[in-house]
Structure 1
Amino acid sequence: MKDLMKKIQAQALDSQHCYLVALIESEGSTPRTSGAYMLVGEKGLLYGTIGGGGMEYAAQQLAQQRLQNGGGSFVKTFDLSPAAGMACGGSCQVQFCYLPAGEETGDLAEEALSAMKQHAPWWFLLPLGEGNALPQIKKDLQLAGRRGVVDIDGCAYYAEQYDYDGSVYVFGAGHVARELVPLLSHLGFKCIVLDDRAEFADAAAFPQAEHVQQVDFTKLQEACSLTAKDYAVVMTRGHVHDANVERYLLTTPVGYIGIMGSKNKAAMARAALLADGYSEQQLARVITPIGIDIGSETPAEIAVSIAAQLIQTRSERVSERG
């Protein structure tokens, strides 16, 4: 959503009209479920996807045609059955929300970006049907569920709640971190990179990170404060530093702790912590070696295995929230 809003803001400031195309309801077998968005300008797709294939292409073409003819919001149902030449077999309802260039659309995007920075729940309300009403950002709504079509004061909206989903704290800024951070950022994770070496804690090396900082791994309580929604990925240059980071993490409620390294490196860090009096139950919070086992060897492959595990963890959290 952050990248989408930045793109909307850029379009508005560049005097370019566009359509926010949203999949709001689906039946049967469809490539995506409700809550998928794409942004379409006069020259085609600007950002996102609502499932790809023939349906998405048709939606893009329709949005481009309407932009050439003056815009205006509207809704359309797409038949994805074999009779319509589609293989999915279902149908989906798509809202085309017209976003005119100018200050009002830019302010909407800025309001959403501001809400994201506050780490508090907020609602995105997409007006349904025809007309020229813009989406709204609301922070004080009480609605059942986290997404769906709702009626507010006699008007229909597709409502979706957004909340702070946690940040990924990457301890260690070496080769794997340089592969991991851009990948996680592309997947929608917010990354914070920490290293004790000034030459490695370089913001220029991590342009996608939310924050990059040089820290003392023995004094992390002074540098960061992790919550149960956050993720900790430990990939320092040695088991001594790993153990120091683990000591801090085990004092926090952080929801995920993963340690990169060989079994020998992990065993040494574990032995140091057991010698310090940490229990097996406490150490059970730690996943080591980190990542899904896909036979990865190179930094890029290891980054993929870690990212896959974080996607899995995030998906499980979303399922638990309902």
Structure 2
Amino acid sequence: MLDLAEELHRWCEQGRDFAVATVVSVRGSAPRQPGAALAVDADGAVVGSVSGGCVEGAVYDLCLAALADGGSVRESFGYSDEDAFAVGLTCGGVIDILVTPVRAGAPDRGVHAAALAAAARGETAALARVVDGPAALLGRPLLVRPGGTLAGTLGGPAALDRAAGREAAALLDLGRTGTVEAAYGEEPAPDGAGTGSRCGEQVVLLVESSLPPPRMIVFGAVDFAAALTGVGKFLGYHVTVCDARPVFATADRFPAADEVVVDWPHRYLDAQELDRRTVLCVLTHDAKFDIPLLERALRLPVAYVGAMGSRRTHEDRLGRLREAGVAERELDRLRSPIGLDLGARTPEETALSIAAEIVAARRGGTGVPLTGAHTPIHRDARAA
């Protein structure tokens, strides 16, 4: 559901009734991962996708049915080749879908609306919904915020909400979307007098985590940077362009960037709080900028550090970084020359090659052509 947060948040503000189909689990090869969603409103308008087209028609009908009767339903779709009219995944996998109605006046509408609003604003939050357990609880939502603050209820005993909150908070801390089990039963009394157990009954939850967009920081206000900012925004990054030269680092030259900063690159980097999703692209191509910047960047726990330059520039850069005291294990993290070998010539083609390398690093891809390869097309998100 949070996969479509911006659009569904608007639907909530407009008072529209809708139903959301969300991928709960995937077995084998499938085009979309858990959390992918398709939504249908009461007028039949549709947004999103759960399978890339294979089962969308059947899921659309399930959404309309859920809107009519007000109940959540879980369905599985697998491969089918026995009937020309059968609905199935041509890729051979199996997906489980949870369909949840979000109707005006329903008790859970406020929880869904709050979760969608938080995700649309880029806030950190998780939406947990029951996908396996007592029928009366199917689809019930719980909103979990950092620190374990809960909103809503799954409809069972209070112990279930507390157990679900703990499990969802753990997944939120990792920034992951997936299913978890929440076991609950009689809990010990706060004074320790109770002898009950947290085990007993259990439900399976789909936890969708929403985090602020990951950051892409592009150093160097050059034409290649202008192209890369557009691709970075397309991939969902919060993009910053940084350059020490005010005549080049202007908002007019980088309309796709979220911010343009005039500062020495290494000084700007020193002032930032970065996480493991951050990607740093060094396009300055000048040792006086590159070396102090990379000396710091390669010691940070970020997802990707790439630097532009020819192979000769790269070898010279490595020598300078070694002289600056950068260890070999740190140099091994440097992607340079930046990007995959696509034969790129233009700034736009180069930006595509850089983005392709970033995606491959993020998802565990090899970068080799799929034609003739024996690598999996759809990798397990956790393994990547």
TM-score (norm: length of structure 1): 0.79
Counterpart in the other structure of 1:158: 206
Q: Which moved more, 1:293-302 or 1:20-29?
A: 20-29
Q: How far apart are the structure 1 equivalents of 2:51 and 2:304? A: 30
Counterpart in the other structure of 2:370: none
Q: Tell me the CA shift for residue 5 of structure 1.
A: 1.5
Matched, 1:98 2:105: no
* Aligned ranges 1:1-322 → 2 under 5 Å: 4-41=4-41, 42-47=43-48, 49-64=49-64, 67=67, 69=68, 72-85=71-84, 86=88, 87-100=90-103, 104=110, 105-113=112-120, 116-118=122-124, 122-128=125-131, 135-139=141-145, 140=148, 141-143=165-167, 147-148=178-179, 150-151=181-182, 156-161=204-209, 166-198=214-246, 200-203=248-251, 209-236=257-284, 238-316=286-364
Return the letter of the residue paired with 2:115: L
Sort the Cα spacing of 1:222 and 1:113 in 2 relative to 1 into closer, same or farther, 3 A.
Answer: same
Q: Which moved more, 1:78-87 or 1:201-210?
A: 201-210
Which protein is bigger by CA-based radius of gyration? 2
Q: Tell me the CA shift for residue 101 of structure 1.
A: 5.4
Q: How far apart are the structure 2 equivalents of 1:218 and 1:40? A: 48
Sort the Cα spacing of 1:38 and 1:100 in 2 relative to 1 into closer, same or farther, 3 A.
Answer: same
CA contact (8 A) 2:2 2:35 kept: no
Sort the Cα spacing of 1:319 and 1:43 in 2 relative to 1 into closer, same or farther, 3 A.
Answer: closer
Q: Percent identity?
A: 26
Q: How far apart are the structure 1 equivalents of 2:333 and 2:262? A: 26
Q: How far apart are the structure 2 equivalents of 1:65 and 1:204? A: 49
Stretches of structure 1 lacking an aligned partner (at least 5 in a row): none
CA contact (8 A) 1:23 1:36 kept: yes
Q: Tell me the CA shift for residue 88 of structure 1.
A: 3.6
Q: How far apart are the structure 2 equivalents of 1:77 and 1:319? A: 20
Q: How far apart are the structure 2 equivalents of 1:108 and 1:123? A: 7
CA contact (8 A) 1:81 1:88 kept: no
Q: Tell me the CA shift for residue 8 of structure 1.
A: 1.6
Stretches of structure 2 lacking an aligned partner (at least 5 in a row): 149-164, 185-201, 366-379
Q: Tell me the CA shift for residue 178 of structure 1.
A: 2.5
CA contact (8 A) 1:66 1:72 kept: yes
Q: How far apart are the structure 2 equivalents of 1:187 and 1:165? A: 10
Q: How far apart are the structure 2 equivalents of 1:53 and 1:32? A: 10
